[in-house]
Amino acid sequence: MAQTRFKGKTVIITGAGTGMGRAAALRLATEGAQLALLGRRPELLEQLASEITAAGGQALAFACDISLEDKVSTAVQNTLDHFGRVDGLFANAGVLGTFKPLGATEASDFDPLIATNLRGTFLSIKHCLPVLEGGAILINASWTASAVMPGAGAYAATKGALLAMMRTLAVEQGPRAIRVNAICPGIILTPMADDVLAPDLAARLASQAALKRNGTPEDVAGTVAWLLSDDSAFVTGQEITVDGGFTIGGVRL
């Protein structure tokens, strides 16, 4: 029997066109969610929305750069106008930036990371909060916020800031029955990760995970669905690591 945990509920997903955002959208659609798909590449969003509607689901695509407040505000309002409600947000959109040692990092290297990962996530949440009545917010952080990937210091700094934001929001919004959590994916083979992981490096990282493989976006989608659903109704302020045991994989030789 197909699950219907999200029947009649509306979820906004940022960065929905590829990777974990796309996989989460497809998973939530199978469980009855009405979806607002946000991202910077409208052709990918439209393709995904068509795929979902062709399978009997409901999805709308909104081209939106989350670093621009007016775009975010408009997308949230359009979602509310069409579906009549917003029950959840998967604040998934993010950028990797340029990998380099922090000692070689320029101040300007932080600008695109802060604009999307930190400011954009904040704006996505800010404009959803007034229209949420209960429900859940889920932030896509990273394993690098609590462990170390040399060269990813600037990226990790923005993801660590998201965890601090998540915990504060969980306390502030708890009285409104709004739950706020974060996932910290490990090595997930998304198109964005493919841009920085050569095949030999990806293989070495896989060998260091307890499950001896890297993850796929579909490996993350189930955790996203759980944390946005009422099945996690008493879970808030938590960071959930989804990494196949990479961060506890043992001694690196």
Helical (H) or strand (E) element with 38: strand 34-39
* Confidence band of 191 (pLDDT split at 50, 70, 90): confident
* Confidence band of 1 (pLDDT split at 50, 70, 90): very low
| pLDDT of residue 241 exceeding 90 | yes
| pLDDT of residue 3 exceeding 80 | no
Name the pairing type of β-strands 34-39 and 86-91: unpaired
- Nearest of 251, 99, 248 to residue 186 by alpha carbon: 248
Which two tokens mark 144?
């690098």
- Nearest of 175, 179, 167, 183 to residue 240 by alpha carbon: 183
| pLDDT of residue 2 exceeding 80 | no
Report the distance separating Cα 52 and Cα 117, nearest Å.
27
| pLDDT of residue 22 exceeding 70 | yes
Report the distance separating Cα 140 and Cα 96, nearest Å.
13
Which pLDDT value is given to residue 225?
A: 98
| pLDDT of residue 17 exceeding 80 | yes
Q: Is 131 a catalytic residue?
A: no
- Active-site position among 62, 90, 122, 155: 155
Q: What mean pLDDT do residues 64-85 have?
A: 98
pLDDT tens column, 118-136: 999 999 999 999 999 999 9
Q: Which domains does the chain have, with CATH numbers?
A: 10-187+217-241 (3.40.50.720)
- Nearest of 180, 150, 146 to residue 166 by alpha carbon: 180
Kindly report the pTM of this predicted structure.
0.95
- The conformation of residue 113, written as its DSSP 8-state character, comes to H
pLDDT tens column, 220-235: 999 999 999 999 999 9
